[in-house]
């Protein structure tokens, strides 16, 4: 399991993020305070405040972590 901080900044970025992770076998959760949503669900992602940083928890399967990190690199908060 790995946790990284994500920031979308726009609806378009949130949409492209969901598309970037939807084909992975791993499980992804977005966490903001006490709220946890499935990061592969566009509806779930849109319930989050996409202007703020959120934590992305990745439960890796199939040794996908290097490919996952490459796919989400544009969304990782500095």
Tens digits of per-residue pLDDT, 10-43?
999 999 999 999 999 999 999 999 999 999 999 9
Residue 59 β-bridge partners: 27
pLDDT at position 78: 77
- What is the pLDDT of the chain when averaged over all its residues? 95
Over residues 56-73, the mean pLDDT reads 96
Phi, psi (degrees; rounded to nearest 5) at 42: -60, -40
Token readout for 3 is: 């946790």
Residue-level pLDDT at 26 = 97
Phi, psi (rounded to 5 degrees) for 65: -55, -45
Residues 6 or more apart in contact with residue 41 via CB below 8 angstroms: 18
Reduce the DSSP state of residue 16 to 3 states and report it.
helix
């Amino acid at each position: 399991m790995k946790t990284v901080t994500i920031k979308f900044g726009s609806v378009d970025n949130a949409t492209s993020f969901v598309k970037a992770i939807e084909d992975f076998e791993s499980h992804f959760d977005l966490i903001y305070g006490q709220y946890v949503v499935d990061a592969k669900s566009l509806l779930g992602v849109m319930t989050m405040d996409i202007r703020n940083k959120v934590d992305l928890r990745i439960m890796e399967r199939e040794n996908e972590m290097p490919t996952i990190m490459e796919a989400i690199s544009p969304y990782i908060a500095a």
